[in-house]
Amino acid sequence: MHGSDAAVLEAHWGGGAAPFGASWQKTMMWIFIVTDGLLFSGLLCGYGYLRMVSPVPWPRQSEVFSIPFIALMTFILITSSMTMGTAVTAARLGDHKRALHNLVFTIVGGLCFLGCQAYEWSHLIHEGARLTGNPWGPPQFTQAFFVLTGFHGSHVLSGLVILIITAIRTGMGKTPAQGVEMAGLYWHFVDLVWVFIFTLFYLL
Amino acid sequence: MADTTGNPYRIYRITWVILLIITVAMLAAEALHLPRIFLIVFLTAFMMVKAVMIGGNFMHLRYERPSLALMVAGGLLITSLILFSFISREAHHVARSLSN
């Protein structure tokens, strides 16, 4: 191997005291995100299994859910990710006012998303959706729905708690830029998971 | 870190617009009642594009070392594919035995 190749490899792969060339906080956050991602991967694979072995035809999602309403939820979450990214960069650039504003926008987006999810759950429960059965098809359908969206919703809720604490501390000038970045990584992960749930559960 | 030349926030707005356009395209494909296999391929491809855009631009993976991006994306993708391949094989077996 040439010396220049070794230097390139070292630059890209070298670990030492800072594996991945990142701080320990960021490295640990990424490892947490991977493990949490594996949880949702398992849940989505379990959903696929339930759907494949179901002897009763799976209901058509557009006949159960209001897809435009789910699209609105997706829009809210994507928008909140955009404001979160802006907050992270603003914090990095030392623009605390902008960072705080965008953190608040992100929190409002998260609250709207949770409100929509609460409305969707209560609407479906009112129509007869239960863990043990539903009017549209196999009971596995609502089991998968409640488990997938419930786990995701709980992540949104915990993300909101983190964001609110980060916003308060940013307002007081106590959160370093890296703190905002860690909160942002978690929030984007919540958005990322929704991309998969939206496609695999609501559209396919 | 985001691109600091020019407007550092532009990348988020561009990503947001592209994500919205992709979402609208996915909704249109679902509403058009396309053939099932085409729908699966189309939606899965767009889902992956959205995931890459969120991971790369919002989570800044494109600015990290390739080793970190590979650990995150590769680890999740490979594990999920292995899990799904075993589960789908088992599901196929169970579904066949249930139908007999």
A7 within a domain of the structure (yes/no) = no
Candidate from A16-20, A59-63, A73-77, B51-55 with smallest mean pLDDT: A16-20
For B58, the closest of A85, A92, A93 (CB atoms) is A85
Average pLDDT over residues A183-194: 96
Taking all residues of chain A, what is their mean pLDDT, rounded to a whole number? Answer: 90
A13 within a domain of the structure (yes/no) = no
pLDDT at B65: 87
Range of the domain at A35: 23-203
pLDDT at B45: 95
Q: Is there a contact between A88 and A180 (Cβ–Cβ < 8 Å)? A: yes
DSSP 8-state assignment for residue B32: T
Q: Is there a contact between A180 and A103 (Cβ–Cβ < 8 Å)? A: yes
B73 in contact with chain A, both atoms CB, cutoff 8 A: no
pLDDT of B34 over the 90 cut: no
**Burial bucket for residue A10 (CB in 10 Å: 0-12, 13-18, 19+):** exposed
Asked whether the beta carbons of residue A48 and residue B87 sit closer than 8 angstroms, the reply is yes
Residue whose tokens read 């992960």: A189
Taking all residues of chain B, what is their mean pLDDT, rounded to a whole number? Answer: 88
Phi, psi of A82 (to 5 degrees): -65, -45
Domain ranges of chain B: 1-63, 65-100
For B65, the closest of A20, A46, A88 (CB atoms) is A20
What CATH number did the domain enclosing A119 receive? 1.20.120.80
Average pLDDT over residues B65-89: 88
pLDDT of B66 over the 90 cut: no
For A82, the closest of B13, B43, B46 (CB atoms) is B13
- Number of domains observed in the structure of chain A: 1
Asked whether the beta carbons of residue B90 and residue A33 sit closer than 8 angstroms, the reply is no
| pLDDT tens digits along A140-157 | 999 999 999 999 999 999
